[in-house]
Chains A and B, each alone.
Chain A
């Protein structure tokens, strides 16, 4: 394991010996926070305010001000939620899934409706989330979701409905593991998070006979009432590696009779440096679906930012003229196909071909693409951080006047008249942060690519590394270029 305590999953680790010597920080050992998180109802208590806020957002989105900057639905979703999400992933871990309001509603529903089906074996992969993730990004641009409180509210409603339908029909955490696009975003980004739900001492797990962390526990009396769920995402703690598929639900923490599961610190992105067999996931290098998800995550970050800068309108107008198309959807679809399929195929495929030819790497072209695609995850995360962090920090205080306005509409102006001049941090502070995030992502990606190259070719490490480093360099340069473009947010792209 990354913590150097020995693991069935990762037998040989040398890079992290230095990290393994010191006992990792354990969030569950922190006096107040740890005690709260160990409480069985901590997740529910965290999800309640999130659910309350979600309902306010739905109501405001449907019935409140039609102007996006004045509505809680749009301000909270597209400024604060996205920013807080990526910052929490950077500083801690998958905290949104921990406090997920959709799960609160789902759990309430499951008190009355027991799901009867199991998710079809053929669909137990990430291909549906890959498509959904790309579709969400596409719809965001096509319908300019950021400019419509009404549509934003319906997206939230749609999410609740989807959770209830999927998890009302199918057992376990089917929605989280095989459907939820936000969850998949979190899973990929959390590979670079500093915290991980993990066992404290492998030896205790070796001697454990009950395996409650995966099985859960039931009352011995007739009826076998479930006392505590095990991991609904099929992650067996002793063999779990990293944050992939972990929603931080803490069921394993509550289930473990030996108090042997913690929220432990680790080297961010260390789980991508090696390719062990992961419980509930398997080998990353054999998971084309997760590799595809990582690619959409990274190149989608570029596309999402590209949709908000001036050059996109020039490109769209040019494409429209050349192809004689006046509708936005096909042009946007073409751009997405270029960004999410053609560009990754050329860059990663080209890098794989060069690495194979030049450094003599074993394996076919596709297996190399799959193996090394995980190296670009930190860079993609850096881009999401730079983009969402920008909106979050520059619009940080806008929640104040929007809330004042909502209360005033209510006829209850306890916070005074809206101070619309309250906006956020100045760009002189935010811009260096953006570039810092990008550089952090680049460093992480290069570190992973180097480590994989070292493993693959001891004699020609530099040759094996260079093509992937060039890909990282190109993506980094593209990200920096995007960040330097003037922001230009239009609801109708083709108009320009």
Chain B
């Protein structure tokens, strides 16, 4: 009897844990809302194609009317496409009206993804993702 009761309790605990995990995951897995869809970001890399080593990344940020967006804070994050690798972070500095540039070190060959974290002067935050495929060894 005792064994059967423990068995039942075990299954109840299992069901509860599984249910909680599912709810937690489902609730937590909503996609990030883009706060500034009208903002356009154009990214260029130099050299092209990118090789292992330093590359200059330039962002041109414009609003819906193609006016340059000034005063934004831009941070560029470089991630390998494979999980478990160290990301690299660099701040981009303003170059001119709506133009921001930074130097990033691609320290491994392979596929990279750039995450551009942009904070506008009105407090809105934007995140753009740019694939940099096939960074070649030097």
Asked whether B108 is an interface residue with its Cβ less than 8 Å from the other chain, the reply is yes
Known: A67-B129, A68-B83, A78-B82. A104 touches B109 (CB 8 A): no
Residue among A58, A69, A407 making CB contact with B28, cutoff 8 Å? A407
Closest to A44 in B: B10
Closest chain B CB from A415 CB (angstroms): 12
Please indicate the chain B residues that have their CB under 8 angstroms from the CB of A79 in the complex: 83-84
Report the interface size for chain A: residues with CB under 8 A from the other chain: 56
Asked whether A375 is an interface residue with its Cβ less than 8 Å from the other chain, the reply is no
Closest chain A CB from B121 CB (angstroms): 22
Interface of B is mostly: mixed
Indicate the member of A68, A70, A495 with the most B CB atoms within 10 Å: A68
Report the interface size for chain B: residues with CB under 8 A from the other chain: 43
Bound state CA distance, A495 and B136, in angstroms?
Answer: 11
Asked whether A218 is an interface residue with its Cβ less than 8 Å from the other chain, the reply is no
Are A398 and B21 in contact (CB-based, < 8 A)?
no
Binds A, one of B12-20, B63-71, B93-101: B12-20
Known: A409-B28, A410-B28, A486-B108. A68 touches B81 (CB 8 A): yes
Are B29 and A63 in contact (CB-based, < 8 A)?
yes
Residue among B18, B77, B84, B87 making CB contact with A55, cutoff 8 Å? B18
Closest to B26 in A: A59
User: What 1/0 flags go to A3-46 for Cβ under 8 Å of B?
Assistant: 00000000000000000000000000000000000001100110
Are A63 and B129 in contact (CB-based, < 8 A)?
no
Indicate the member of A55, A423, A491 with the most B CB atoms within 10 Å: A55
Asked whether B37 is an interface residue with its Cβ less than 8 Å from the other chain, the reply is no
Residue among B7, B27, B113, B136 making CB contact with A410, cutoff 8 Å? B27
Please indicate the chain A residues that have their CB under 8 angstroms from the CB of B22 in the complex: 55-56, 59
Bound state CA distance, A67 and B113, in angstroms?
Answer: 8
Closest chain A CB from B108 CB (angstroms): 6
Are A486 and B10 in contact (CB-based, < 8 A)?
no
Please indicate the chain B residues that have their CB under 8 angstroms from the CB of A492 in the complex: 133-134
Bound state CA distance, A423 and B83, in angstroms?
Answer: 10
Which residues of chain B (21-50) have a CB below 8 Å from chain A? 21-22, 24-32
List the interface of chain A (C-beta within 8 A of B). 40-41, 44-45, 48-49, 51-53, 55-56, 58-60, 62-64, 66-71, 74-75, 78-79, 104, 108, 144, 146-147, 310, 391-392, 394-395, 398, 406-407, 409-410, 412, 420-421, 423-424, 486-492, 495-496
List the interface of chain B (C-beta within 8 A of A). 3, 6-7, 10-11, 13-14, 17-18, 20-22, 24-32, 77, 79-87, 89, 108-111, 113, 115, 129, 133-134, 136-137
**Closest 10 pairs between A and B when the two form their complex, measured CB to CB:** A395-B84, A59-B25, A410-B28, A63-B29, A52-B21, A79-B84, A488-B109, A489-B110, A423-B86, A147-B81
Given contacts A147-B81, A410-B27, A492-B133, 7 further A-B contacts (CB under 8 A): A40-B7, A69-B81, A69-B87, A104-B14, A407-B28, A410-B24, A487-B110
